[in-house]
């Protein structure tokens, strides 16, 4: 799990390098360890880029005049005659959406046996409509399917009825796999929208517009909202939960991205508040389990039991060390370090259990109280001692609960991929965009934590949603990988 998160973070740089032709040895090595689908996408995008560049060279005079027009790169062809008048349809004309692809690879018929409303027999009619859906297959080939939908008449209901085409959302012209793959690239991996277009674009006959992608992701997020709600419920009900927050840009303002995570759940919330209001939205009331956080005071009111991250505390000691050489500080820092190290070592003993080492734990607790309650002249020692007093019961919780860690690494790892996305995509421009982002990131991350292939899971859930009319439950942890 650890490796997969770091992998996602590195993918961004790899894709950019590959597309710019700057992939170095070490990056190629890393690329080779990624998901098959992603490797293929990067290679195809790179191949297309090469063809494009060769096309440009050809235009400079290297192209064989005997090459048939159809095999020539478009760059070498003369420019089309200049368009007369304004682009776009005349006023009053019907609007146009995504153009229908020229090629049809397969045809499918859809016809109801019985009326979906009353179950009665239907009178066969000759009414049909066709719908073209373009999608990416598992091997990344694209397939254009023309669906013929029969509309028959139900005498009981006195209306025409037609079956649902489960391959794409109503009125959508791209299939589930394309929607799921593009959303995973963007929200799961951190690839920017223009890079998603570039990676997938070469596969498609028709252009994937950024507006079309965003609209598809919004519909997807609306459908999967119940899973997002479920992830929050499960996180709130868990015995151990990590929390962390980081700055986020929302339409030019500073918002906060919150992350609540454990081994099987990862829930993101994008909110204008960095304090109580956001936590209240998530927790509603106090959390019953152990909450693992840094020393940010906003969490105080919500956790009955808490573990503050010891790595944060150790980092703080190092920071002070750099500017404070006073003997009192040195002695304080040395004692505190030794105390923390002793606690961590105790926990790491193979035979550790809170019962077996009860007296050792009591001794550690006593040392902490002594260190916290002593009087200090040094400003840093005094400030840190105050922090120890405030968090006396929140530093060694991991010795009472073996499933609690002494660091907040899990939440920090979970918050890293969106931070990478923040750098490439300037966070969100609207509250709706922020909500979509939070829903889809939570779902991708949680599916991954539970050992499921996010793509396959999303595609099959969308099929079920359209076939049965409701979303299947959020998958539990996979036995094979979990």
Contact set with Zn ion (CB under 5 A): 115, 117-118, 120, 154, 156-157
Classify 456 as helix, strand or coil: helix
399, exposed or middle or buried, with CB in 10 Å at 0-12, 13-18, 19+? buried
Closest approach, Cβ 264 to Zn ion, in A, equals 44
Closest approach, Cβ 130 to Zn ion, in A, equals 24
Closest approach, Cβ 23 to Zn ion, in A, equals 59
21, exposed or middle or buried, with CB in 10 Å at 0-12, 13-18, 19+? exposed
Indicate the residue among 117 and 362 with the shorter CB distance to Zn ion.
117
Closest approach, Cβ 113 to Zn ion, in A, equals 12
Closest approach, Cβ 158 to Zn ion, in A, equals 8
Indicate the residue among 112 and 419 with the shorter CB distance to Zn ion.
112
Indicate the residue among 150 and 176 with the shorter CB distance to Zn ion.
150
Q: Is 343:371 a contact under the CB 8 Å cutoff? A: no
Token duo for residue 434 = 């922020």
Closest approach, Cβ 469 to Zn ion, in A, equals 16
Closest approach, Cβ 164 to Zn ion, in A, equals 15
Indicate the residue among 114 and 141 with the shorter CB distance to Zn ion.
114
Indicate the residue among 115 and 193 with the shorter CB distance to Zn ion.
115
Indicate the residue among 118 and 284 with the shorter CB distance to Zn ion.
118
Indicate the residue among 112 and 466 with the shorter CB distance to Zn ion.
112
CB count in 10 Å sphere of residue 464 = 14
């Amino acid at each position: 799990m650890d490796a997969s998160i770091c992998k996602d973070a590195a993918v961004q740089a790899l894709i950019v390098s590959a597309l710019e032709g700057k992939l170095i040895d070490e990056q190629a090595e890393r690329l080779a360890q990624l998901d098959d689908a992603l490797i293929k996408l990067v290679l195809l995008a790179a191949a297309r880029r090469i063809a494009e560049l060769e096309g440009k060279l050809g235009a400079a005079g290297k192209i064989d005049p005997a090459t048939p027009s159809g095999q020539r790169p478009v760059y070498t062809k003369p420019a089309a005659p200049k368009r007369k008048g304004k682009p776009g349809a005349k006023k009053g004309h019907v609007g146009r959406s995504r153009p229908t692809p020229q090629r049809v690879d397969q045809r499918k018929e859809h016809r109801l046996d019985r009326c979906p409303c009353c179950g009665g027999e239907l009178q066969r009619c000759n009414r049909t409509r066709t719908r073209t859906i373009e999608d990416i297959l598992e091997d990344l080939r694209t397939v254009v399917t023309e669906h013929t939908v029969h509309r028959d008449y139900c005498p009981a209901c006195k209306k025409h009825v037609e079956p649902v085409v489960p391959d794409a959302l109503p009125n959508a012209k791209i299939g589930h796999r394309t929607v799921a793959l593009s959303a995973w690239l963007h929200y799961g991996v951190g690839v920017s929208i223009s890079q998603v277009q570039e990676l997938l674009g070469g596969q498609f006959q028709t252009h994937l517009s950024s507006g079309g992608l965003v609209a598809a992701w919004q519909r997807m997020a609306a459908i999967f909202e119940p899973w997002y709600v479920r992830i929050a419920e499960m996180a709130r009900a868990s015995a151990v939960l990590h929390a962390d927050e980081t700055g986020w840009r929302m339409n030019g303002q500073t918002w906060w991205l919150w992350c609540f995570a454990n081994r099987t759940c990862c829930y993101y919330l994008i909110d204008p508040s960095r304090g109580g209001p956001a936590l209240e939205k998530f927790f509603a009331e106090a959390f019953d389990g152990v909450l693992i956080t840094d020393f940010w005071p906003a969490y105080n009111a919500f956790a009955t039991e808490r573990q503050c991250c010891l790595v944060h505390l150790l980092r703080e000691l190092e920071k002070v060390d750099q500017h404070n050489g006073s003997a009192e500080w040195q002695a304080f820092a040395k004692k505190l370090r030794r105390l923390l190290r002793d606690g961590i070592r105790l926990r790491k003993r193979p035979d550790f259990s809170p019962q077996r080492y009860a007296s050792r734990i009591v001794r550690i607790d006593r040392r902490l109280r002594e260190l916290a309650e002593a009087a200090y002249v040094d400003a840093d020692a005094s400030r840190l001692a105050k922090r120890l007093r405030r968090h006396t019961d929140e530093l060694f919780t991991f010795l009472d609960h073996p499933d609690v860690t002494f660091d907040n690494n899990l939440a920090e790892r979970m918050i890293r991929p969106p931070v990478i996305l923040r750098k490439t995509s300037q966070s969100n421009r609207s509250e709706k965009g922020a909500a979509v982002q939070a829903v889809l990131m939570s779902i991708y991350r949680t599916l991954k934590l539970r050992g499921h292939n996010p793509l396959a899971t999303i595609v099959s859930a969308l099929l079920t949603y359209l076939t049965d009319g409701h979303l299947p439950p959020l998958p539990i942890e996979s036995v094979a990988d979990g």
